[in-house]
Amino acid sequence: MAKITSLIMTIIMFLFPTLNIPKIEVDSAKMKTNYTFVFIHGLGGWGENTFYYDAIPYWGVMGGDMLKYLKAHGFDCVAPSVTQNGSAWDRACEAYAQLTGTRVDYGKEHSERCHHKRFGKDYTGRAMLKSWSSKDKINLMGHSFGGATMLELVELMMNGSAAERRVTDKADLSPLFTGGKGDWIYSVTGLAAPYNGTTAVACRDVINAKKIAPLNQRLVVTAVGGVASPIPDGRDENDCAGYDLDIDPAIALTKTWHYSKNIYYFSVPCCMTDTDKNGVTTCDERNFEFIYAGAATVMCEYTGVTPGGVVCDRSWQPNDGLVNTKSARAPFNAKSVNYNGGKAQKGVFNVYPVYRGDHMALMGGLLNNNNIREYYVNLMMNINMQ
């Protein structure tokens, strides 16, 4: 009966997304800043400049368009749409072009090494930001693989790319690769972001090895093995999200990032599993969305050592169905502190308490409606009050 009631409520919320969602008062007088929030979606996601966003908003999903709600409450928000299965590098280049209103430039060195076209879509005259500078900073919000995408973007804004500068004439070099723009970023916030990769990639192989696997486990194989695979255009097989999500390459990527003492870093890890006093982790299948429960079960049982020597012990087992909670706290090479509001530290990952929910809970839920509007208002208010 409870499941039927939940299904009926989900259908009602899909047809009437603003029904019974109370308005939240935002005291803008308390805010020290009011910089634009840039929302970067995860693997397989989409931004507000896609034709289907109004029908199915990635940011809000079953709860309705959250960005529209936030804008109505005084927050300036934009959500670029980057390649769903692209590498962190490619997605960062695409986000930069959309924000600045320029043509996508993946870089001469990168495009030649990875065997794909150097230039992408041209957004000239369609900048998502009215202004972007050291005076008009931005707050980056990255869900899932959007976390790695935003940190790659921050690295390029701060330091550019020495490899691109070496092989590209100055007159032909994208401003993204020159660096010197780290002070254009005010804050970054990772939302269930697998900074250090995820054991879901390894679990995909475990599931593939089975002769028969439940449907919700086979969905993981499809998602991680299909959606995360490289674009079939002859490019290097490692120039894709699937590679950057694997633990060894993900950790290698974090070692290319630098963390500014002038930027606020926040993280919100998620978890929908339970660990008992004996250290045994189990999946809360009753409250998980169907498509994530299968992966969560396998991830709860998985231990192993990566080819690069990373030991995935029991501490990796708590997860949200796609991302290990441990990986979503902060890059392993970065400083982090537990955080629950108030004054935050710059240059350090301020890690919020673990959010009880599966991987799409912070997006509003895929099939189970989850009202996260108040959570975001409080989160964004806190950032603007630093």
Please count the other Cβ atoms lying within 10 Å of the Cβ belonging to residue 14.
15
How do the pLDDT tens digits run along the chain, 386 residues long? 444 444 444 444 444 444 445 566 677 777 889 999 999 999 889 999 999 998 999 999 988 899 999 999 889 999 999 999 999 999 999 999 999 999 999 999 999 999 999 999 999 999 999 999 999 999 999 999 999 999 999 999 999 999 999 999 999 999 999 999 999 999 999 999 999 999 988 887 777 667 666 666 666 666 665 566 777 888 999 999 989 999 999 999 999 999 999 999 999 999 999 999 999 999 988 888 888 888 898 899 999 999 999 999 999 999 999 999 999 999 999 999 999 999 999 999 999 999 999 999 999 998 888 899 999 999 999 999 99
Residue 11 pLDDT:
47
DSSP 366: S
Q: What would the DSSP string read from start to end of 35-68?
A: PEEEEE--TT---TTSTTTTTS-TTTGGG--HHH
* Conformation bin of residue 125: beta by default, left when phi > 0, alpha when psi is -120 to 50: left
- Domain ranges, ordered by start, for the chain: 2-384
Q: Determine the Cα–Cα distance for residues 279 and 222; give it in Å rounded to an integer.
A: 30
Q: Which long-range contacts (CB under 8 A, 24 or more apart) does 348-354 make?
A: 348/259, 348/265, 349/265, 349/266, 349/267, 350/264, 350/265, 350/266, 350/267, 351/266, 351/267, 351/269, 352/266, 352/267, 352/268, 352/269, 352/379, 354/269, 354/270, 354/271, 354/325
Q: Half-sphere exposure of 49 toward its Cβ, with a 13 Å CA cutoff?
A: 18
Q: Determine the Cα–Cα distance for residues 328 and 264; give it in Å rounded to an integer.
A: 16
pTM: 0.91
Residue pair 221/204 in contact (Cβ under 8 Å)? The answer is yes
Which superfamily does 2-384 belong to?
Alpha/Beta hydrolase fold, catalytic domain (3.40.50.1820)
Structure tokens at 295: 């992966």
Q: Cα 288 from chain centroid?
A: 20
Residue 286 pLDDT:
85
Place of tokens 């034709």: 51
Structure tokens at 15: 């047809």
